[in-house]
Chains A and B, each alone.
Chain A
Amino acid sequence: MEAEFLSTMALTFKLAAVTTLILLLIGIPLAAFLVFSKMRFKSILETVVSMPLVLPPSVLGFYLLLAFSPASALGSFLTEHGIRLAFSFEGLVIGSVLFSLPFMVHPIQSALSQVPKSIFEAAYTLGKSKLQTMIRVILPSIRHGLISGIVLAFAHTVGEFGVILMIGGNIPDETRVASIAIYDEVESLNYAMAHQYALTLFAVTFAILLLVYTLNKKSLGRIR
């Protein structure tokens, strides 16, 4: 029982960590694009990014399940190449990335939009390329936005339920994460175990958020 508890918790945090890392890598360029692009159809992309905020998780999960199933074009293509996304950890990562996208993109987007244009221009007139400017000047100065994005995306992925239930099911060591386990234990009237999961999630997420906001406040005080 204890081993199962530990492996479920490990899987939960592994999913959250992998998802957050991927989100960080795609969230920064995506947020930069949303802030700086003058493209006409930008608001469509902005809407798509924000959709998971209002969409029931089951809707996203349902469509992902359809897309992953061997009956669909994407699913059959993947199956031919030996990749199975439905009811697998990889599939959960894709679902979580999509579902937590706004939680990473929005804080970065809002921090980026507050950086004065002249900071970018100053770096350019000092001979720095756009990439150098982004890495050396801009990202360090929006770190509070990055930290908020990381924390929110991580916490949101830990707390995810609907999407995972739809596309992942409840396979130990593959797709059985803590939120699913709680539901499962309650269904089987195993309240003690459910409580152990719930309390652990509660304590860990509280501790992470508290730590990060405390650190964030300190570092902000230094550069403001």
Chain B
Amino acid sequence: MIVIDIKKHLDTAEGPLEAHYELSISDGEFLTLFGSSGAGKTTLLRLIAGLEKPDSGRIEVEGEVWFDSDRRINLPPQKRSVGFVFQDYALFPTMSVRENLLFSAETPDQRRAVDELIEMVELTALSDRLPATLSGGQKQRVALARALVRHPKILLLDEPLSALDPAMRQKLQDELSLIHARLGVTTLLVSHDIAETVKLSDRLASVVSGRIERLCTPMEFFSPQTLSGKLQLIGEVLKIEADFPVSVITLLVGSSVVRTVLSSDEASELRVGGHAIISTKAFNPILIPLP
């Protein structure tokens, strides 16, 4: 069980922000911090890892106090059992894949488990290569494996897949899901990708202006209605073309681009870059499996 109740003054691009994070995460849970950029998601990860210091509050992980402003406790990052996967991977450039992991291992057991981890992320053939010679997806896997070497109590993933192309992204989402199921490590993911969030997380914490606004399952968040005869899809609005009296809306649903027509009034509530639910009533969906 991880209990967080911390305050931190942030200077964001949109001005100062008094962030207050209250959150508890159960053991083995996969929780996603979802929200727009600048909402303070990454900051929360950095505060948990000890890379930044909260102004006040308390962080307790499995009964161990990592931070407590009242008792003046503030463990340095080195003393906190975290695995941090950075957005830019942060691999050590002069060490091979294997050396990156070995350097991180602390006990003989962890050193012995390095090859197994490399195999789990399918990098055995590349284990003697330097990071500069790897693709983005491969670097990401090294970073993930490296973060797991010390069996952290919490795995912190800072938009780890955002720099990858869609196909690689989906593959790594699947791998991440498998690894989480296999190792059961408590995981906190920062994301603003809906598909990723729904696919991976047990719960979603919606972060708005430094606060956790809602804590629920991803489905409750993105698709609030209960199961009905309605077909519901969530998409991102790509384009709104006014063609009086209607508007043509182009949405990205999954990896398909969908166009639909709305009255100009209805369309006025949408904005490009925002998310929308597409649903149809009295509709009997036909699912045809793809080869």
Contact = CB atoms under 8 A, between A and B. Distances in A.
A121 B84 contact: yes
29 contacts: A118-B87, A118-B88, A119-B90, A119-B93, A121-B49, A121-B51, A121-B86, A121-B90, A122-B84, A122-B86, A122-B90, A123-B92, A124-B50, A125-B49, A125-B77, A125-B80, A125-B82, A125-B83, A127-B78, A127-B104, A137-B94, A137-B103, A140-B94, A141-B93, A141-B94, A143-B94, A222-B132, A223-B93, A223-B130
Contacts of B83: 125
B146 interface: yes
A84 interface: no
B106 interface: yes
A221 to B, nearest CB: 9
B11 to A, nearest CB: 15
A224 B93 CA distance: 8
Nearest to B81: A127
A136 B51 CA distance: 20
A141 B92 contact: yes
B211 interface: no
A115 to B, nearest CB: 9
Interface string B66-93: 0000000000111110111011101111
B93 A126 contact: no
Given A125-B82, A125-B147, A223-B130, 17 more contacts: A118-B86, A118-B87, A118-B88, A121-B77, A121-B86, A122-B90, A122-B146, A123-B92, A124-B76, A125-B78, A129-B78, A137-B94, A137-B95, A143-B94, A223-B93, A223-B132, A224-B132
B98 interface: no
A119 B139 CA distance: 14
A128 B84 CA distance: 13
A126 B130 contact: no
Contacts of B49: 121, 125
Interface of A: 116, 118-119, 121-129, 136-137, 140-141, 143, 222-224
B51 A126 contact: no
Interface string B111-133: 00000000000000000001010
Contacts of B87: 118
Given A118-B86, A136-B103, A224-B132, A124 B94 contact: no
A124 B49 CA distance: 9
B8 interface: no
A119 B86 CA distance: 9
- The 4 A-B residue pairs with the shortest CB-CB distance, nearest first, are A118-B90, A122-B90, A140-B94, A124-B77
Contacts of B51: 121, 124-125
Contacts of B88: 116, 118
Contacts of A126: 103-104, 146, 149-150
Nearest to A115: B93
A222 B130 contact: yes
Contacts of B82: 125
A148 B149 CA distance: 35
Contact of B94 (A118, A123, A125, A223): A223
A57 to B, nearest CB: 37
A69 to B, nearest CB: 48
Contacts of B147: 125
Interface in B28-64: 49-51
B234 to A, nearest CB: 32
Nearest to B106: A127
Contacts of B79: 127
A62 B87 CA distance: 54
B136 to A, nearest CB: 15
A206 to B, nearest CB: 29
B283 to A, nearest CB: 48
Contacts of A116: 88, 90
Interface string B132-172: 10000000000000110110000000000000000000000
A84 to B, nearest CB: 45
Contacts of B132: 222-224
Contacts of B94: 137, 140-141, 143, 223
Nearest to B86: A118
A190 B277 CA distance: 93
Contacts of B78: 124-125, 127-129
Contacts of B76: 124
A119 B90 CA distance: 5
